Structure 1
Amino acid sequence: MQVRAVAKDIGIPPRKMRLVTNAVKGLRVSEALAVLQFLPNGGAQPVSKVVASAAANAENNYNLDPDNLYILNITADDGFRIKRVKPRSHGRAARILRRYCHVTVVVSDDPADRR
């Protein structure tokens, strides 16, 4: 059975978050949490929380064993952008985009889903 968890509006750009999500894609949940604990990237903590939330959803809502779960799919999608203006010389302006992302984790315990 596939169970998912979503974290929205994380203040890290999706491009940087994908470095973290690609490191744990396909791993068991326990292994992924161990890897995320020692990653130096700033996105490791929010991804760790989402993975733990997906495992808790599977355990509490569907009575699945958390030791048998693995990450089927994990994505970092583009969220909203805060647009700002920074003054530059000679009366010009430069645009600043502060990017946010949404992280979706899908965990499963069925070996047939791994394909």
Structure 2
Amino acid sequence: MKTAARLKTVRMSVRKVRLVADMVRGMNALEAVTRLQFLRRDAAEPIAKLIQSAVANAEHNHKAEPEKLWISSISADNAGFLKRFRPRAMGRAAEIHKHMAHINLELTDEPKTAKK
């Protein structure tokens, strides 16, 4: 059984989100949420909420037990950027890009085996 959840246009750089995503990949879903609560990174909060949402989806749609759910895949993809302008010298303006990310998560009811 697979359950998916998606979080779109998170106002955070993909590079920063991937650091946290790599940490929780392959973990038990409830253990991952517990670890993310104590992680001092901005990306930890939206990823923890996404995992909780995916667990709720699995409970509601497939009658799955939350203790037996594992993160089989999690990825962060580029979602474009917002253009903002910053004043510069001699009356000029420089463009600033505020990056965004899409986060995709998939849960399964069987732990991922380690590759040799």
TM beyond 0.5: yes
CA distance in 1, matches of 2:87, 2:48: 38
CA distance in 2, matches of 1:22, 1:74: 8
**Aligned residue for 2:13?**
13
CA distance in 2, matches of 1:29, 1:3: 12
CA distance in 2, matches of 1:12, 1:87: 23
CA distance in 1, matches of 2:37, 2:110: 26
**Aligned residue for 2:62?**
62
Q: Aligned ranges for residues 1-115 of structure 1 at < 5 Å?
A: 1-111=1-111, 114=113
CA distance in 1, matches of 2:33, 2:88: 44
Q: Gapped runs of 5+ residues in structure 1?
A: none
CA distance in 2, matches of 1:59, 1:66: 7
Per-residue deviation, 1:93: 2.9
CA distance in 2, matches of 1:65, 1:86: 50
Per-residue deviation, 1:63: 1.0
How many residues of Structure 1 are paired with residues of Structure 2 in the alignment?
A: 114
CA distance in 1, matches of 2:17, 2:84: 22
CA distance in 2, matches of 1:20, 1:66: 21
TM-score w.r.t. structure 1 length? 0.91
Task: Provide the aligned C-alpha RMSD in A.
Answer: 1.5
Q: Gapped runs of 5+ residues in structure 2?
A: none
For the residue of structure 1 that corresponds to 2:6, the secondary structure is strand
Q: 4+ residue stretches of structure 1 with deviation over 6 A? A: none
CA distance in 2, matches of 1:47, 1:89: 39
